[in-house]
Amino acid sequence: MNVNFYATLRLITGKKTVSLDHLPDGVTVREVLEECFKLYPALRAELMKNDQEMLGHVHFFVNGRDVPYLPDVLETRISRSDKLDVFPAVGGGSGWGNGW
């Protein structure tokens, strides 16, 4: 199973993709995240409000589907062939109001 991290989260992991091939089929999204937190403890504060809730500005996708919209949210079971993408909020503006 591959977990892809984007933007500032790559500064914590030091890489784009973390391979978790040792995890069995049927683990939950939460269990995958917990495994990532074991490898990179600083990720927890960037991704989770507490042990139960995702921070609102972070987006998790399983095979392109936004985790909050999956039937079991973080308890959704996934397989080793699935892909988890993790995006932090990215701020910025178009610059249109600054004379561009």
Q: Give the pTM.
A: 0.83
Domain 2-90: CATH superfamily, name plus number: Beta-grasp domain (3.10.20.30)
pLDDT in tens, 29-55: 999 999 999 999 999 988 888 766 777
pLDDT in tens, 6-26: 999 999 999 999 999 999 999
Pick the closest to residue 46 from 86, 95, 92, 1 (CA basis): 86
Domain residue limits, the chain: 2-90
Strand order across the 59-62 sheet: 17-19, 2-5, 83-87, 59-62, 65-66
